Amino acid sequence: MLPPEPPQQQLQPPPPAPQNHVVTTIENLPAEGSGSLSASSRAGVRQRIRKVLNREMLISVALGQVLSLLICGIGLTSKYLSEDFHANTPVFQSFLNYILLFLVYTTTLAVRQELLRNLE
């Protein structure tokens, strides 16, 4: 004999979110094309993007990309050194990474310090 099935609970819809609440569900969002974004809110979005993507941020991202390319080049060089010339020197090859880090970031710090002094 099978045990009796438990009574099914009725699912109630969640209560509506308060209007000033931070979390918004997709049901509360305005429909696309409804024209609910005013010119001031679009300008606010542009202003936030400009605030995040400032010159200093873009320079940092560019320096990171250059550094990653240099590290990739060192990896390729290490591969060719070990395969073609049978030169297995992992400590020296890692040391090159740290020298590049030192050169890139110390130069960047020196340039920023010089710019700050000129602004004062």
| pTM, two decimal places | 0.47
Contact partners, residue 53, CB within 8 Å, separation at least 6: none
CB-side exposure of 8: number of CA atoms within 13 Å? 3
Q: What percent of the chain has a predicted confidence (pLDDT) above 70?
A: 68
Mean pLDDT for 49-76 is 86
Q: 111 is written with which tokens?
A: 């340039």
Confidence bin at 7 (pLDDT 50/70/90): low
d(CA 40, CA 49) in angstroms, rounded, equals: 14
